[in-house]
Structure 1
């Protein structure tokens, strides 16, 4: 599998997003087996958060992943669980809340250091209202935790171009924003990341995550390309992202072993010039 760089490490360009494992709460053995299968297939980058299943997913990762697997587990802070709320998550943007979330992730994953932690800003791609907290204040807390050895590298998620510029002095290893073939609102941000050697790890890589947003797999041109390339529409959407820039790393999520294998196989698909056009 093709490789890229994330938080100073070489990783496969297609990793695994663990959020959907929360759906397997009633079948823990199946969730563990899926994670072990991912490792067998070469996954060495997993994306998680303490809020996924209110700690359930981090517990799965703690049980399933072994030190010898050498998997980079990236997590995020800036949101917390809110089981009694209208939405299952609430903003947790203040510096003291960021530190508490890092500590939750450390405990949940059973590690002394988190290799990569994304500061989940709520400037873009968020459905929960939040009072603004200055990114400089947040990054001061993140840098302090990095200096203390609690985290290895800092990422940003849901950030604007201005926010990335303001964060640059702190050192940014990766950016997670919504981005797909059909939703290219952050091209300028991606171009800056490419120029600066910052990993671009899009969430919602196939779209359709919220009502009214287009699904890449429903697009007629994508479906036609899939027939031409003997691939699935999802594989075409993922392959397009990989071809968009060399710093693009993917974390498609699934709770199904067949879909996992199909997602990883997208890395072997070459989209020729006429199909791309």
Structure 2
């Protein structure tokens, strides 16, 4: 696909950040934006950052009602003319003061309520994509007691809401390989799991997604977001490649993800304009076969996280 095709431009007319990719029935920028960091900003700064992301060719934004006001910022900053595909998630509620600032909200009635909350805060009639945040895999929350809910029961709620038109498509987050296989008949369009160049234990899930044309959207793509999670910036090989190519280690690690599989989409989050621009610039980084082979040879490390 060349840069002159219509698909390589957003609805607002900007070249798509990182080029074009498929997310369900939507064509979106391969480099999107994760809205979780917006909670660190005041209103004016958040709106300015979001408008800048649109100017840089972002039309895929990841958010959640439990991101502390991010949805309200998105509602105010974005216009229909931007054509932004908003991906939100359900399965957790805020838990201020806890070891993780979230608590499970896995029961069907909680999922349904979260959908309604997201619709209201975003000011939408339909949520384009909703990720079910399962608690089967990856760092973070684990379900206990009445929060241990069968995947089929959760999917039944989301499928019903899709049939009602309240959501457009279903994704999964924090899912294991068995769960993804079980969910495939529900027409899953994306999977969000913790995954980075230095922590690739979910490679079999990525391969299954690639085979089924499902977008793979890694969270913690640089690692290090939680204690015990390996950091890409600590790896000497990544630092060496970054120095040789004149980029930061973080940029090299993100660029590797774009090169690694065609269905990988990025949603790096930031509260800083300069950092946002550096993330978008990753789309122009070319890694030659020798460099890719060097990076591919970096051993994958297992996260050691305890709560």
Q: How high is the TM-score relative to the length of structure 2?
A: 0.87
Q: Which runs of 5+ in 1 are unaligned?
A: none
**Hey, what does 2:25 align to over in structure 1?**
8
Q: CA 1:126 to 1:98, structure 2 compared with 1: closer, same or farther past 3 Å?
A: farther
Summarize deviations over 1:102-144 as a string: whole Å, max 9, x none.
Answer: 0010001011100000000011124333132100000000000
Q: Contact 1:7/1:115 (CA < 8 Å) preserved in 2?
A: no
Residue aligned with 2:143, SS: coil
Aligned to 1:82: 95
Normalising by structure 1, what TM-score? 0.96
Q: 2:278 aligns with which of 262, 266, 269?
A: 262
Kept in 2: contact 1:12–1:45 (CA 8 A): yes
Equivalent in the alignment of 2:59: 44
Is the Cα contact below 8 Å between 2:139 and 2:194 reproduced in 1? no
Aligned residues, how many?
273
**1:248: which partner in 2?**
264
Per the alignment, residue 35 of structure 2 pairs with: 18
CA distance, structure 2, for counterparts of residue 202 and residue 164 of structure 1: 15
Matches within 5 A, 1:191-270: 191-270=207-286
Match of 2:168, SS? Answer: strand
- Separation of aligned partners in 2, 1:72 and 1:64: 14
2:80 aligned with 1:67? yes
Q: RMSD between aligned alpha carbons?
A: 1.1
Give 1:81 deviation, angstroms.
Answer: 1.5
In structure 2, the partner of 1:140 is 156
Alignment of 1:91-130 (within 5 A): 91-130=104-143
Distance 1:231 1:84 in 2: 37
Contact preservation (8 Å) 2:100, 2:140: no
- The Cα of 1:86 is off from its aligned counterpart by 5.3
| CA shift for structure 1 position 84 | 6.1
Q: Select between 121-130 and 250-259 the one with higher mean Cα deviation.
A: 121-130
| SS of residue paired to 1:138 | helix
**Residue 150 (structure 1) aligned with residue 166 (structure 2):** yes
3-state SS, counterpart of residue 270 of structure 2: coil
Structure 1 pair 86–210 and aligned structure 2 pair: CA distance change class (3 A): closer
Q: Could you say which residue in structure 2 is the equivalent of 1:29? A: 44
